[in-house]
């Protein structure tokens, strides 16, 4: 079987699984997985394809969640406008943070993004209309496109699923676009890309903004799904968690971050009974994964498939 | 009749925190020639390259390309004007195939390099030209090989093919035969002669027989300054050059 055929098969499986999900598991759980999968995929666009490790992506997820919450609850705007507003704010934040952060690389880049995220966290705690420690509760889901009332979990699920597919499609298209090729070249050898006439900073910035925008979309959807926005969405734990999901699933693979998100959310959900031990267990799983298969779950599976079916090198 | 100058530097100076790496270098490179920059280790050859391509900002002095001042241009801009460099260590994109490596260079003029919504299939229009360029350096059989798996000599050939894809007016080659076995050196020399047709090459090289073979004009740098300039035969007889290389007073 050829590589594109395998990819199509994986796609079909994913779409079908997504369609069936609300009848297989608790819909809110499935929606939560979708939101975090989109978040991790957006993060992976930056880490896996541009080679930039951001440690402040919670800022985009969280800021968008709050903006969506405010537009829907306080101003009573239609759902899709709330989602768009959240995404737009995350995009703008990405433009500002990105323009400053991409001047540095490696650990300095990570620290600048972390600094900005802490700034956002502080603002959310202090501003009067974010609900402070309590967060924003009781965000109405409203109606999608003014027609479809998002009151039932299954209807809401399909609304979120369509948005997820659109975001996910855009990410994988960006990866396999002329832009994606330049991005990979920059990740592989930045001075060489520069010497070929590419203004690498502009490409990195676009990757950063795209990643921020789609993280924002994930945050907005999350606010609609859970009907609240809380401080945990802007907390740096969230920025760490997305690194974990991406590495677990497989950095630089299209499906990896979603698999990682599924795994982390499942662990957190089904281990909730054991209380605070869940953090310890997730940590142990993470360490075991990174030690045993550094390419992540999907990365290892891909290498295995290439070795056994295609005969190419992993 | 004086030859037309493609590249000129005037009193180029680069200081690093009290250490003068390049000290008042004035060069003139004639259009269509192969010009070599030689000198002992630490003479400032690579620093001059970094200044010319704006990878490093010059402390003082001016750089003129085709009569235009490029002293303060951005590095990517310098490349787009037609000055394209290679690197001392082979500079390929390791995880990309040979074909993709060359295509990255061909892709920019399409003007779609920021188009993240477009399919990568639009790049296939460049494949024919990329294969041609690979064939020009003898890599047509390696088109689908991932660059990291190519042997060293072939990596350098791939780098050259990628550079040529930009059709640069001025090619800056930083030690193109470094770390190569005898046979590979011969291949690369032939390749450089081949690609130099119709363009200008400025070359940093340690292997003096390569310099003798290729370069019409040679500039010798020592301790950041120009020690001598002339044909290979002229500079190789220059007592100051002999002293700088061998350390013996002539």
The domains of chain A are located at 3-12+25-310
Report the CATH number at residue B239.
Answer: 3.40.50.300
Position A314 pLDDT exceeds 60: no
Burial of A147 (0-12, 13-18, 19+ CB in 10 A): exposed
Closest partner residue to B107 among A174, A178, A194, by Cβ? A178
Structural domain tally of chain B? 1
Angle of the A153-175 helix axis to the A27-44 helix axis, nearest 10: 20
Burial of A24 (0-12, 13-18, 19+ CB in 10 A): exposed
% of chain B surpassing 70 pLDDT: 97
What are the pLDDT digits (tens) for B104-139?
999 998 889 999 989 998 999 999 999 999 998 889
Tell if the CB–CB gap between A195 and B110 is shorter than 8 Å: no
A134–B contact, CB cutoff 8 A = no
Position A200 pLDDT exceeds 90: yes
pLDDT at A138: 87
Position A163 pLDDT exceeds 90: yes
The residue segments making up the domain with residue B169 are 5-246
Of B103, B181, B177, residue with least CA distance to B147: B103
Does residue A290 or residue B37 have the better pLDDT?
B37
Tell if the CB–CB gap between B114 and A193 is shorter than 8 Å: no
pLDDT at A210: 97
d(CA A306, CA A296) in angstroms, rounded, equals: 15
Position A57 pLDDT exceeds 70: yes
- Over range A7-22, report the average pLDDT: 87
Which stretch of DSSP H or E encloses residue B69? strand B68-69
- Which residues 53-72 of A are in CB contact (within 8 Å) with B? none
C-alpha distances out from residue B193 to A192, B49, B162, B182, Å: 23, 20, 17, 17
Give the closest-approach CA distance of A114 to chain B in angstroms: 27
B89–A contact, CB cutoff 8 A = no
Q: How many CA atoms lie within 13 A of A149 on its CB side?
A: 2
Position A277 pLDDT exceeds 60: yes
Angle of the A200-226 helix axis to the A153-175 helix axis, nearest 10: 170
pLDDT at A281: 82
What are the pLDDT digits (tens) for B7-38?
999 999 999 888 889 998 999 999 999 999 99
Position B240 pLDDT exceeds 80: yes
pLDDT at A289: 82
- A311 falls in which pLDDT band (50, 70, 90)? low
- Over range A186-212, report the average pLDDT: 94
C-alpha distances out from residue A11 to A2, A93, A163, B167, B233, Å: 14, 32, 16, 40, 66
Cβ A137 vs Cβ A131: under 8 Å: yes
Residues in chain B within 8 Å Cβ distance of A189: 91-94
Q: Mean pLDDT in chain B?
A: 88
Structure ipTM: 0.84
Residues in chain A within 8 Å Cβ distance of B116: 170, 173-174, 177, 179-180, 206, 210
Position A313 pLDDT exceeds 50: no
Write the DSSP assignment of A206-238 as a string of letters: HHHHHHHHHHHHHHHHHHHHHS-B-GGGTSHHH
- B149 falls in which pLDDT band (50, 70, 90)? very high
CA–centroid distance for A264 within its chain: 13
Domain A3-12+25-310 fold: ABC transporter involved in vitamin B12 uptake, BtuC (1.10.3470)
pLDDT at B179: 75
- B250 falls in which pLDDT band (50, 70, 90)? very low
């Amino acid at each position: 079987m050829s590589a594109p055929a395998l990819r199509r098969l994986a796609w079909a499986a994913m779409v079908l699984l997504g369609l069936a999900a609300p009848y297989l598991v608790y819909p809110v759980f499935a929606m939560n997985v979708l939101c975090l999968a989109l978040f991790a995929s957006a993060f992976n666009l930056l880490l896996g394809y541009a080679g930039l490790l951001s440690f402040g992506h919670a800022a985009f997820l969280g800021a968008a969640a709050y903006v969506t919450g405010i537009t829907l609850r306080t101003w009573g705007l239609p759902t899709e406008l709330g989602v768009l507003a959240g995404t737009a704010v995350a995009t703008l934040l990405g433009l500002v943070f990105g323009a400053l952060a991409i001047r540095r690389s490696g650990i300095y880049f990570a620290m600048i993004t972390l600094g900005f995220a802490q700034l956002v966290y502080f603002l959310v705690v202090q501003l009067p209309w974010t609900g402070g420690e309590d967060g924003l509760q009781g965000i109405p889901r409203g109606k999608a496109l003014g027609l479809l009332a998002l009151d039932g979990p299954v209807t809401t699920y399909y609304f979120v699923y369509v948005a997820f597919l659109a975001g996910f499609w855009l990410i994988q298209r960006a990866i396999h676009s002329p832009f994606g090729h330049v991005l990979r070249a920059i990740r592989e050898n930045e001075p060489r890309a520069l010497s070929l006439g590419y203004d690498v900073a502009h490409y990195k910035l676009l990757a950063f903004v795209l990643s921020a925008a789609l993280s924002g979309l994930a945050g907005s959807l999350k606010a609609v799904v859970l009907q609240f926005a809380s401080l945990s969405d802007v907390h740096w734990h969230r920025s760490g968690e997305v690194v974990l999901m991406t590495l677990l699933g497989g950095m630089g693979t299209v499906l990896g971050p979603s698999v990682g998100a599924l795994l982390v959310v499942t662990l957190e959900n089904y281990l909730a009974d054991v209380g605070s031990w869940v953090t310890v267990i997730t940590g142990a799983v993470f360490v075991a994964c990174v030690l045993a298969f550094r390419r992540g779950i999907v990365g290892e599976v891909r290498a295995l498939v290439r070795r056994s079916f295609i005969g190419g090198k992993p | 009749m004086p030859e037309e100058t493609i590249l000129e530097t005037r009193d180029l100076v680069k200081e690093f925190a009290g250490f003068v790496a390049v000290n008042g270098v004035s060069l003139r490179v004639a259009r269509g020639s192969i010009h070599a920059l030689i000198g002992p280790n630490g003479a400032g050859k690579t620093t001059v390259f970094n200044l010319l391509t704006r990878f490093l900002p010059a402390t003082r002095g001016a750089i003129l390309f085709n009569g235009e001042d490029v002293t303060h241009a951005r590095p990517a801009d310098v490349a787009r004007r037609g000055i394209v460099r290679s690197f001392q260590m082979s500079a390929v994109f390791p995880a990309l195939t040979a074909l993709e490596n060359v295509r990255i260079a061909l892709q920019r003029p399409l003007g779609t390099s920021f188009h993240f919504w477009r399919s990568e299939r639009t790049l296939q229009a460049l494949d024919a030209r990329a294969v041609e360029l690979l064939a020009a350096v003898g890599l047509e059989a390696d088109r689908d090989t991932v660059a990291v798996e190519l042997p060293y000599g072939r990596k350098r050939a791939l780098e050259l093919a990628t550079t040529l894809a930009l059709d640069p007016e001025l090619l800056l080659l930083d030690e193109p035969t470094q770390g190569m076995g005898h046979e590979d050196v011969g291949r690369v020399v032939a390749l450089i002669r081949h690609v130099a047709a119709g363009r200008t090459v400025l070359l940093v090289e340690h292997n003096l027989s390569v310099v003798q073979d290729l370069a019409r004009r040679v500039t010798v740098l020592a301790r950041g300054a120009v020690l001598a300039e002339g044909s290979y035969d002229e500079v190789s007889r220059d007592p100051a050059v002999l002293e700088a290389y061998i350390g013996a007073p002539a």
